[in-house]
Structure 1
Amino acid sequence: MLNGEKSISRPLRWAMIGGGRTGQVGYKHRTGALRDNTAFRLVAGAFDIDPERGRDFGVNLGVDPSRCYPDYQTMFEEEAKRPDGAEVVSIATPNGTHYEITKASLNAGMHVICEKPLFFEIAQVEEIKRLAEQKNKIVGVTYGFSGHPMLFQARKMIENGELGEIRIVSLRYTHGFSATEDAEKYSEAQKWRVDPKIAGPSFVIGDLSTHTYYMSQLMLPDLKIKQLLCDRQSFIKSRAPLEDNVHMLMHYDNGAVGTAWFSAVDAGYMESQTIRIVGSKASIEFSDFQPNRLLYQIQGQPYQILYHGMPYLKKEGLADDRFGALHTEGLGESWANIYLKFARAIEAADRNDINFLRTFVYPDINAGLEGVKWIQNCVRSADSGSVWVDFQ
């Protein structure tokens, strides 16, 4: 159980790029990074494309006005001159900027925590992975839902064979907040998410499905997709060629099959993500709408509901619990958990602890690479006429 005690030797000097007043994700990053004040300390930022608005915002966060920069290039240049300069940066900017900023961050000697999807192309991720290894820096990806403790409970149950042979995987992440084209009129973030030049080759595949796909990988690390079929639609025609709805079928390497539905036009739906995994003995189901519990359904027995913080859970399911049973934990705690993992990975990299990093589970650059592969294969299948493709 986590209680706020330090898990690294000192707080890391942390900066942000993006995540300003008008952004949708900046507060989530700060909630995660600063929940445990023993892990990160916000010292600098280039918070906004509008320098004055960004400076005003940073000052209101308590950042020294002299360290609220007009752009990330200036920030890197000035922070490098300081003995107490930033050493890790979070990138909370639109998709199309991630590659350029991540590369510049690594070359400036920074560890990087980046929004998903990481980049547009597999080759870009592989290049950045090599650069990060050369610089001995980590690149983490903010799959913000993946810090829920019950996901690790599920992972251990599957590893122990408590579900038997895995047969069926069902993934869903849907909402209705883009059910009309008015979404683009009233949200700056929504406008760029449906612009291929900024968002990349997909809308909901990149914006929604990468979260759920990573969570399924977290639960099923030994199960790999062999083939998939993707069918995508643009129900709001102005969004084409980007999709606002997608259905998928998957074939896994052990013979299991999968289905997935991701949508931004599921009018009225408010329960977000659900992952159901069916084995030969039992099934489990996780929903981020009720992340403090895990449904466990053994064939021929009554349903069981496993609750967070309870002593009957695996130690892996208790390790990141914060408040204990009966006390609700949510998305803020999940973000805090992954940021704490980023901090531990950064300190391990700084002391060159390769053995620790080899077995430590957190959303690293390999998770980012897998997410980009997922997007590219889904788009390739859909654009080829919704046909089966080998997962490459």
Structure 2
Amino acid sequence: MINGEKILDHPIRWAMVGGGRGSQIGYIHRSSALRDNSFQLLAGAFDINPERGRDFGIQLGVAPERCYPDYKTLFAEEAKRPDGIEAVSIATPNGTHYEICKAALTAGLHAVCEKPLCFTHAQAKELVRLADSRNLVVGVTYGYSGHELIEQGRQMISHGDLGEIRIIRMQFPYGAYASTVEEKDPAAKWRMEPKTAGPSFVLGDVGTHVLFLAETMVSDFKIKNLLCLTKSFVKTRQLEDNAFVLMNLESGAQATCWSSAINCGALHGQKIRIIGSKASIEWFDERPNQMSYEVEGEPVRILERGGAYLYPEARREDRISGGHSEGLFDAWANLYRRFAIAMQAAGKGKKVDFWYPDIHAGAQGVKWVEKCVESAVNGSSWVDYN
């Protein structure tokens, strides 16, 4: 169980780029990073408007002289300090991730980056090369992957509880953008502009989240080929607001993914069902503390977060005893805890023996989106993945 005891020699000296006042995800980054005393927020370039960003940083308790106007100044000035930052979180619109992450790695900093890392697989490979050659950690915030029941599913599959994996059904279809909300909401608008969002809307925005859940739980999730069907049901949009993907895996299993922003009435809708030759499991992020375990010929079982019957690897990330709910903030905190341990280990020339959404996972998400778009623009044809 995680109980707040010190896990590092010292908290990682940390900054943020973006995540300022009005950000949808800035607070959860800070809350999660600071929760286990693993990071210390010392600096930042919090807003594209320097004065607004400086004021916000000061309100967070950051020293005024360490509230910088932009990320370039942040990295340059912090490099001059004996107590300069060691890591940075990138919580900015998609179109800026590549240049900021590359600049951070070039400056010798570990990074936590919102997905997508970048827009093209070629860019992703460049970031992987930089991170690996400099022994730097890049964590990607596939948030719910840090929930303990995702680890439980991983352990059940690796122990053979489901038998041979045959089908993986993924979905992340929410309904918030079923109409032209972007006309009045700037936070929605940038997600639908190719220049700022990249080559995809819902595939990159939500599809990669549930894809990483599958990759985490099914260790041999390797795509052989895929077919993608996309559509913009709101006609004024340049990017898709609904997408279906079919995948054949190298193992012989098959997978599907439904990504959507127009599923009217759905608040979130992220769900994964994994079907084996003996049993199935299903997890739904709107009810994250339960996992359905369905053995052929037996009554359905509901596995509860914190249950003594869970695998030890899953119970290790309890933050409170069973019966109490844990959710997205707890899952993010688990990821940030892993990021911190990995960063400290890397600083000592070591590697960790646990998984986390790293730069390779981020690069895989970029490649998946690129292949899905390739299939869609070519008449929804089958595309080889390698």
Residue 375 (str. 1) matches residue 376 (str. 2):
no
Residue 246 (str. 1) matches residue 240 (str. 2):
no
Worse overlay, 150-159 or 2-11: 2-11
**Counterpart in 2 of 1:28?**
28
**Counterpart in 1 of 2:330?**
333
Q: Distance in 2 between matches of 1:271 and 1:246?
A: 16
**Counterpart in 2 of 1:347?**
344
Q: Distance in 2 between matches of 1:188 and 1:66?
A: 30
The alpha carbon displacement at 1:247 in A equals: 1.0
The alpha carbon displacement at 1:112 in A equals: 0.9
Deviations 1:97-150 (A, max 9, x none): 111111111121211110001111111111111111222211111111110000
Residue 284 (str. 1) matches residue 281 (str. 2):
yes
**Counterpart in 1 of 2:221?**
223
**Counterpart in 2 of 1:121?**
120
The one of 171, 183, 186 equivalent to 1:185 is 183
Q: Distance in 2 between matches of 1:166 and 1:134?
A: 35
Deviations 1:327-370 (A, max 9, x none): 1101000110000000010001000113x3xx320000110111
Secondary structure in 1 matching 2:338: helix
Asked if the contact 2:214–2:221 (Cα under 8 Å) also holds between the matched residues in 1, the reply is: no
| 1:70-219 alignment runs, 5 A limit | 70-181=69-180, 183-219=181-217
Deviations 1:247-268 (A, max 9, x none): 1111111221122211000011
Task: Determine what percentage of the aligned residue pairs are the same residue.
Answer: 56
**Counterpart in 1 of 2:360?**
366
Q: Which amino acid aligns with 2:203?
A: I
Asked if the contact 2:136–2:343 (Cα under 8 Å) also holds between the matched residues in 1, the reply is: yes
The alpha carbon displacement at 1:185 in A equals: 2.5
Deviations 1:288-327 (A, max 9, x none): 1111111100000000001111111101111111112011
**Counterpart in 2 of 1:309?**
306
Asked if the contact 2:220–2:251 (Cα under 8 Å) also holds between the matched residues in 1, the reply is: no
Secondary structure in 2 matching 1:238: coil
Does the C-alpha gap of structure 1 residues 255 and 133 become closer, same or farther in structure 2, counting only changes over 3 Å? closer
Q: Which amino acid aligns with 2:182?
A: E
Q: Distance in 2 between matches of 1:255 and 1:167?
A: 7
The alpha carbon displacement at 1:188 in A equals: 1.7
Q: Distance in 2 between matches of 1:371 and 1:294?
A: 25
Structure 1: runs of 5 or more not aligned: none
**Counterpart in 1 of 2:384?**
390
Secondary structure in 1 matching 2:227: strand
Asked if the contact 2:115–2:362 (Cα under 8 Å) also holds between the matched residues in 1, the reply is: yes
Deviations 1:161-195 (A, max 9, x none): 110111111001011110100x2123222111111
Residue 236 (str. 1) matches residue 220 (str. 2):
no
Worse overlay, 266-275 or 293-302: 266-275
Q: Distance in 2 between matches of 1:114 and 1:99?
A: 9
Q: Distance in 2 between matches of 1:267 and 1:191?
A: 19
Q: Distance in 2 between matches of 1:23 and 1:272?
A: 22
Deviations 1:231-284 (A, max 9, x none): 0010111112x1000111111112211222110000111242100001110000
**Counterpart in 1 of 2:7?**
7
Q: Which consecutive segments of 4 or more residues in structure 1 shift more than 4 A?
A: none
Q: Distance in 1 between matches of 2:193 and 2:105?
A: 27
Secondary structure in 2 matching 1:150: helix
Q: Distance in 1 between matches of 2:268 and 2:369?
A: 23
Q: Distance in 2 between matches of 1:375 and 1:130?
A: 20
Q: Which amino acid aligns with 1:391?
A: Y
Q: Which amino acid aligns with 1:100?
A: E
Aligned residues: 386
Q: Distance in 2 between matches of 1:57 and 1:187?
A: 22
Q: Distance in 2 between matches of 1:229 and 1:365?
A: 25
Secondary structure in 1 matching 2:132: helix
Q: Distance in 1 between matches of 2:257 and 2:57?
A: 40
Q: Distance in 1 between matches of 2:134 and 2:115?
A: 22
Supply the RMSD in Å over aligned alpha carbons: 1.0
Q: Which amino acid aligns with 1:283?
A: S
Q: Which amino acid aligns with 1:319?
A: R
- With structure 1 as the length reference, what TM-score do the two structures score? 0.97
**Counterpart in 2 of 1:321?**
318
Q: Distance in 2 between matches of 1:262 and 1:246?
A: 5
The alpha carbon displacement at 1:96 in A equals: 1.0
Secondary structure in 1 matching 2:236: helix
Q: Distance in 2 between matches of 1:365 and 1:6?
A: 26
The alpha carbon displacement at 1:77 in A equals: 1.5
Worse overlay, 17-26 or 125-134: 125-134
Q: Distance in 2 between matches of 1:312 and 1:10?
A: 35
Secondary structure in 1 matching 2:61: coil
